Structure 1
Amino acid sequence: MSRATTELPSTTKAFLARPDTAALTTLRRDGTPHITPVRFTLDTATGLARVTTLAKAREARHVVAGGPGARVALCQADGFRWVTLEGRATVTDDPERLAEAIRRYTARYRAAPPALPGLVVIEIAVDRLLSLNL
């Protein structure tokens, strides 16, 4: 469990619950950042953020190539208000974990993610949170 997410002010929790997109930053093999717009969910009780994507997508491949504990960042912004979630990421196609990610995604965005072959979930154990104006 992450103190970074369990002790969030209600305004920050409300901001992160909005059906907005975020920018997911992963690292290429050469260490340069790759930024992708994504939809995500955050379980504030456990500190786990989830992004559904395809196994062949660059962001998933970067996390896998980064090895166990690859660092990533998610940033949701609205004007001069923003929250960045940082943490260690893993990629899984475990049916139960993928089903939980889809359930949470559907609840937040009021529609399921595309049911495409090769769907995986990037799970981010959030250990740092930065924010402005929340």
Structure 2
Amino acid sequence: MSRAIAGLPAAARAFLALPHTATLATLRPDGTPHVTPVRFTFDAPAGLVRVTTRAGARKARNVAAGDAAARVALCQADGFRWLTLEGRATVTDDPARLAEAVRRYTARYRAAPPAPPEPVVIEMAVDRVLSLNL
């Protein structure tokens, strides 16, 4: 568990457990930002954010085009409360990792995620947390 996650207050953990949508910011190959709404899961013990998507989605292509692990940011907001998780991300189509992402998504949102062709999971190892009013 990263130091950023280890110090996460209970109120912040509870906020991340709410079934909200967040925005995921990645960088296109030309360096411009790409921000898209996503549903996600947060695994505090592992310090991981998981986003299921399809291999051809711009966000997955942006992460895959980055260096060994691309920097990304995910922000969940609700009124004047918000929390941003930042870290390095990778894209994988590993069946076990994808199944774990789907399991956690289904538990959080009480419905399975969409089942696109060529499913992948973006995994972000959180190393920085920013928040307001949590």
**TM-score, normalised relative to structure 2:** 0.97
Q: Deviation at 1:120?
A: 0.4
Q: Deviation at 1:83?
A: 0.3
Q: Deviation at 1:90?
A: 0.2
Total equivalences in the alignment: 134
- Which digits, 9 at most, give the CA deviation of each residue in 1:84-132, with x for residues without a partner? 0000000000000000000000010000101222110000000000000
Give, in whole Å, the separation in 1 of the partners of 2:112 and 2:100.
12
Give, in whole Å, the separation in 1 of the partners of 2:86 and 2:47.
10
- Which digits, 9 at most, give the CA deviation of each residue in 1:14-54, with x for residues without a partner? 10000000000000111111000000001111101000001
Other-structure match for 1:25: 25
Q: Deviation at 1:8?
A: 1.3
Give, in whole Å, the separation in 2 of the partners of 1:18 and 1:47.
17
Letter in 1 for 2:73: A
Matched, 1:57 2:64: no
4+ long deviations beyond 2 Å: none
Contact 1:23-1:76 at 8 Å conserved across structures: yes
Contact 2:101-2:121 at 8 Å conserved across structures: yes
Q: Secondary structure at the match of 1:83?
A: strand
Letter in 2 for 1:9: P
Other-structure match for 1:96: 96
Other-structure match for 1:117: 117
Q: Structure 1, unaligned stretches of length 5 or more? A: none
Q: Deviation at 1:4?
A: 1.3
Letter in 1 for 2:93: D
Contact 1:87-1:124 at 8 Å conserved across structures: yes
Other-structure match for 1:131: 131
Give, in whole Å, the separation in 1 of the partners of 2:97 and 2:88.
17
Matched, 1:16 2:13: no
**TM-score, normalised relative to structure 1:** 0.97
